[in-house]
C-alpha cells in the first residue's frame, strides 16, 4: 500500500468527482454554445459548476472564468492587468510559484519595473513591506495566499485594503489555499484570483480565474464569445462540471482539523527523532502542509528512500540539468543552501488517515538516520 503525502503537488480524484466525469464524458457531448437540447444540457452543467466554484470563494458565478488551470489563470491575470501601453511598476514577492514569478519576469524583460518583496524566516511576507514598495505608478500587486512549499498564509487581505484605496490591481494566487482554508474574494480585497481544480481532488487541465466586476483587464486570447470573451474556445464541460463537484465538496472543511492534528503528530515524532526545524510553524499556515528541515540529512536521498518504502513526499528542490538546486522559496526565506537541501515537504489531504501517518512515521524512523550527509 502506498502512502501519498504529496497533495500540494496534486491530489487523487474524489470518488464523486470521478463519478461525475464518467457520466458526463459518456452522456454530455454537446457544445455548450448550441441552442439544441444537447447544447443546453452542457450549458446547464457549466453554469452549475460556475455557481459552485464561485460559492467556494464568495464570488458571484458571473465573475468566474474557466481556464486550463492555475498557470493559465495567473498568466491571464498578470498580463491582462498590465497590458495597457506604457511602463508600469509591479510589486510581487520572492516566494511566488513560477506561474506568477515567470510572467512577472517576462513583463520585466519587456521594460516594466518590478519589486520583489522578501519573506521573513517564518515564510511570511510582511504586509507593511509590500505597502512600502507601492508607488503612485504601481499597476499590479501579485501575491499568493498560501505558499505551496511551506503552506504559510500570506497577508493578502491587509495588502488588499491598501490596494483598494489606491486603485491598484491586486492579483491573488489562491491555488494552494482554496479548499484548505476559508476565505472570500471580498475579505481579500483582490481584483483577480486564481484557482486550480487538481489541488482539490478534481482533474488536471481545469482551473478558474475570478475577475471582479468592473476591473479593467485585457484578454490573453481572442476567438469566440465563450466565458464572456475572457477565455474563448469550446468549453470542456465534463472537466468544468468535475471542478464544480470538487468545489462543493471542498466547501466542507470538516477534515481540516483532523489533517492538522495528524500533521502535528508527524512533526512532534520527527522532533523526537532528530534535530529539525518546522518551517512556518510560528505563523498561520495551511492545515495539511509540513515543511521540515532535517539537520544533516540529504533531502533528495530521503525522498527517494521514502519512495522505495512506499511513502510519496517531495523536496522543494528543482532538478535542472541533472543538478539538484535548492528551493528558491526556502533560500528567499533565509535558509542556507545546505538547509534547503535538507528539507522535505509532507502534504496531507482529506483522505490521509491516522494509520497512514503512523506507518509513515515508522518508515521515517527507519530511513532518516540512513540519509545523513555528515
Q: Which residues make up the interface to ligand PLP (CB under 6 A)?
A: 69-71, 74, 97, 99, 144, 148, 173, 175-176, 196, 198, 207
164 φ, ψ to 5°? -60, -45
Nearer of residues 70 and 361 to ligand PLP, judged by Cβ? 70
**Residue nearest ligand PLP (C-beta atom):** 70
Residue placing its CB nearer to ligand PLP in the complex, 122 or 147:
147
* Residues 167, 123: Cα–Cα separation, whole Å: 28
**Catalytic one of 172, 190, 319, 371:** 319
Q: C-alpha cell of 289?
A: 502542509
Other Cβ atoms within 10 Å of 208 Cβ, number: 33
| Closest distance to ligand PLP from the beta carbon of 111 (Å) | 25
Q: C-alpha cell of 180?
A: 484548505
* DSSP type of residue 298: -
| Cell 498557470 -> residue | 71
Smallest distance, ligand PLP to C-beta of residue 42, A: 23
Nearer to ligand PLP, 148 or 192 (CB): 148
Q: Which is nearer to ligand PLP, 241 or 367 (CB)?
A: 241
- Residue 163 annotated among the catalytic residues of the structure: no
Q: How far is the CB of 1 from ligand PLP (least distance, A)?
A: 26
> Which of 124, 112, 117, 76 has the alpha carbon at shortest distance from 284?
124
Total number of residues shown for the chain: 374
- Tell me how far apart the alpha carbons of residues 240 and 217 are, in angstroms, rounded to a whole number: 23
- DSSP structure class, residue 349: -
- As measured in angstroms, the least distance from the Cβ of 371 to ligand PLP is 25
H-only helix segments in 57-149? 70-81, 98-109, 127-133
Residue owning grid cell 463537484: 245
Nearest distance, CB of residue 52 and ligand PLP, angstroms: 18
Residue matched to cell numbers 468566474: 64
Residue 314 pairs with which residues in a beta bridge? 345
Which CB sits closer to ligand PLP, 91 or 143?
143
Which residues does the annotation mark as catalytic? 319
Amino acid at each position: 500500500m502506498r502512502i501519498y503525502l504529496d497533495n500540494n503537488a496534486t491530489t487523487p480524484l474524489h470518488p464523486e468527482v470521478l463519478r461525475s466525469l464518467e457520466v458526463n464524458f459518456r452522456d454530455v457531448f454537446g457544445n455548450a454554445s448550441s441552442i439544441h437540447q444537447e447544447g443546453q444540457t452542457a450549458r446547464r452543467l457549466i453554469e452549475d459548476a460556475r455557481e459552485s466554484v464561485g460559492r467556494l470563494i464568495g464570488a458571484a458565478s458571473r465573475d468566474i472564468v474557466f481556464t486550463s488551470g492555475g498557470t493559465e489563470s495567473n498568466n491571464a491575470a498578470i498580463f491582462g492587468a498590465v497590458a495597457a501601453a506604457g511602463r508600469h511598476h509591479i510589486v510581487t514577492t520572492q516566494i511566488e510559484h513560477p506561474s506568477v514569478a515567470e510572467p512577472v519576469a517576462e513583463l520585466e524583460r519587456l521594460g516594466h519595473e518590478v519589486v520583489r518583496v522578501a519573506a521573513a524566516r517564518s515564510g511570511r511576507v510582511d504586509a507593511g513591506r509590500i505597502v512600502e514598495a507601492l508607488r503612485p505608478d504601481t499597476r499590479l500587486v501579485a501575491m499568493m495566499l498560501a505558499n505551496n512549499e511551506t503552506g504559510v498564509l500570506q497577508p493578502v487581505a491587509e495588502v488588499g485594503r491598501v490596494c483598494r484605496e489606491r486603485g491598484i490591481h491586486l492579483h491573488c494566487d489562491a491555488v494552494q489555499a482554496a479548499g484548505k482554508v476559508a476565505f472570500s474574494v471580498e475579505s481579500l480585497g483582490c481584483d483577480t484570483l486564481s484557482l486550480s481544480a487538481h489541488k482539490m481532488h478534481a482533474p488536471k487541465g481545469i482551473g478558474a480565474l475570478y475577475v471582479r466586476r468592473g476591473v479593467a483587464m485585457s484578454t490573453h486570447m481572442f476567438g469566440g464569445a465563450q466565458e464572456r470573451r475572457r477565455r474563448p474556445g469550446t468549453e470542456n464541460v465534463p472537466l468544468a462540471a468535475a471542478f464544480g463537484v470538487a468545489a462543493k465538496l471542498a466547501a466542507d472543511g470538516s477534515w481540516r482539523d483532523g489533517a492538522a492534528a495528524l500533521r502535528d503528530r508527524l512533526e512532534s515524532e520527527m522532533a523526537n527523532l532528530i534535530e529539525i526545524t518546522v518551517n512556518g510553524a510560528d505563523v498561520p499556515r495551511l492545515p495539511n502542509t509540513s515543511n521540515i528541515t532535517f539537520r544533516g540529512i540529504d533531502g533528495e536521498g530521503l525522498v527517494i528512500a521514502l519512495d522505495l518504502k512506499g511513502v510519496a513526499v517531495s523536496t522543494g528542490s528543482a532538478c535542472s540539468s541533472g543538478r539538484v538546486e535548492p528551493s528558491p522559496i526556502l533560500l528567499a526565506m533565509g535558509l542556507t543552501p545546505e538547509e534547503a537541501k535538507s528539507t522535505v515537504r509532507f502534504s496531507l489531504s482529506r483522505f490521509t488517515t491516522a494509520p497512514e501517518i503512523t506507518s509513515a512515521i515508522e518508515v521515517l524512523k527507519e530511513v532518516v538516520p540512513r540519509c545523513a550527509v555528515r
